[in-house]
Amino acid sequence: MQLFFVTLFPTVRQKDIYRIYRYQMTRTLPDRHSQENQSAFNLSQLLSREPIQTDNAHIRKQISNAVILITGAAGSIGSELAMQVCQLNPKSLILIDQSETLLTEMEVALQPRYPHIRLTAFIGDITDSLRMEQIIRQMQPDILFHAAAYKHVPVMEKHPYEAVRTNIFGTKILVDLAVRYGVKQFIFISTDKAVRPASVMGATKRLAELYIRQSCEQSGTKFTITRFGNVLGSSGSFINIFKKQIEDGGPVTVTHRDASRYLMTPDEACQLVLQATSSDYYGKIVFFDMGRPVSVQAVAGQMIRSAGLTPHLDICICYTGLRPGEKLHEDLLNDDETEIPAAHSGMRIAASDNRSLNFETIFKKLSTALNSANPGQIVATLKQILPEYDDAALMCRPM
């Protein structure tokens, strides 16, 4: 069995662990199901449910011979998505990311394996409207997968300027360009943290969702939103943190003994995104049925036991308190949304009436807040625009 989380090198940095993980992913790339069996054994065990299996037949029809663009292509989700897209034989694949090193590594890993696919990598920032327009006008993508985002909740509490600039204005730029240049489909990767948001990151993703929903009514581009749970093993995942802490002999730090999260594997996350290309989901918000939320404390204990150790005897579990922006529990549906079955097994739709918002005014307010360079003003503006953004949800129960 091949494990992608490196346990033999206690001095390896988090960034290097992720690079080794990505390299191993490329080595097993030809057979996605073999890759799942070899790499996600421990990950799938942590789900407390059976991994969701999807039918790729209709996905292949959507992707085959299409021009595909992925933003955030060098990230943990974007890179896995690029690998899976290549197996579906697109006409060409366009990768956009700010990281020159990781983007180059992606290109070097993919090109020899798929020489028949026209692969083009662009270093670029999604908030650079001129650069994004140049790329989309030149490459004329059929399907745009928008994975680029700032996603780490506590970090974005410290940097609301970057969260708003990238997650809201960066998304707006791509949405508007997709409409202008006739992109056929636009798949947006969102998060359960956009549901009843209690953080800057969640609020910015929720506003991006609402802008996309409103854009659906005014264009020929088919928009779909996918909502993720916590993707096990992705960059910044608590799984990586626990793994490193166990390697170092502990303690394993859990924010709260009652904290729980919806969990999914990287393979499931990408399968959700690819399934979202189906015409059944145009204009919809879709998510996987991830079962019941999983206790973070239980995951920590399970990982310790899987290493042949005993929780609280060999490795201590300690509770540090919720970090800024974190909630005890996540949700998958906002108050105005209803869960309905989807056309494909394991998928669900968050149905609601479209909310009509004056985005011209909203963007002016956000621009003024950004120009102030005042984090407090930026957060206050977000709360004014989005009443459901309530950090009172962060109130921590006794541990």
Does the CA dihedral 321-304-235-76 come out positive or negative? negative
Cα(190)–Cα(204) distance, rounded to whole angstroms? 10
CB 315 within 8 A of CB 250: yes
Please report which helix (H) or strand (E) contains residue 226, including its range. Answer: strand 222-228
Annotated catalytic residue 364: no
Cα(94)–Cα(68) distance, rounded to whole angstroms? 6
Distance, CA of 215 to chain centre: 21
Cα(259)–Cα(295) distance, rounded to whole angstroms? 6
CB 117 within 8 A of CB 109: no
For residue 344, give Cα distances in angstroms to 241, 255, 263, 286: 34, 35, 19, 11
Domains and CATH numbers, the chain: 44-394 (3.40.50.720)
* pLDDT for position 219: 84
* pLDDT for position 163: 98
Three-state SS for 125?
A: coil
Contacts with 262 (C-beta within 8 Å, 6 or more apart), sequence order: 192, 229, 230, 290, 293, 294, 330, 332
Cα(219)–Cα(2) distance, rounded to whole angstroms? 46
* pLDDT for position 27: 36
> What is the β-pairing status of strands 338-341 and 347-351?
antiparallel
Q: The tokens 């166990």 sit on which residue?
A: 246
CB 96 within 8 A of CB 122: yes
* pLDDT for position 50: 80
pTM of this structure: 0.86
Cα(252)–Cα(316) distance, rounded to whole angstroms? 6
Amino acid sitting at position 226: T
* pLDDT for position 10: 40
According to DSSP, the residues that pair with 123 across neighbouring strands are 97
Residuewise pLDDT in 10s, the chain (399 residues): 444 443 343 433 444 434 434 434 443 333 433 334 334 346 777 887 888 877 777 889 899 999 999 999 999 999 999 999 999 999 999 999 999 999 999 999 999 999 999 999 999 999 999 999 999 999 999 999 999 999 999 999 999 999 999 999 999 999 999 999 999 999 999 999 999 999 999 999 999 999 999 998 778 999 999 999 999 888 878 988 999 999 999 999 999 999 999 999 888 999 999 999 999 999 999 999 898 999 999 999 999 998 999 999 999 999 999 999 999 999 999 999 999 999 887 899 999 887 789 999 999 999 999 999 999 999 999 999 999 998 755 544 444
CB 252 within 8 A of CB 312: no
Q: Is the peptide bond before 115 cis (omega within 30 degrees of 0)?
A: no
CB 123 within 8 A of CB 100: yes
**Of 193, 205, 244, 284, which residue is the catalytic one?**
193
Q: What is the CA radius of gyration of the chain?
A: 20
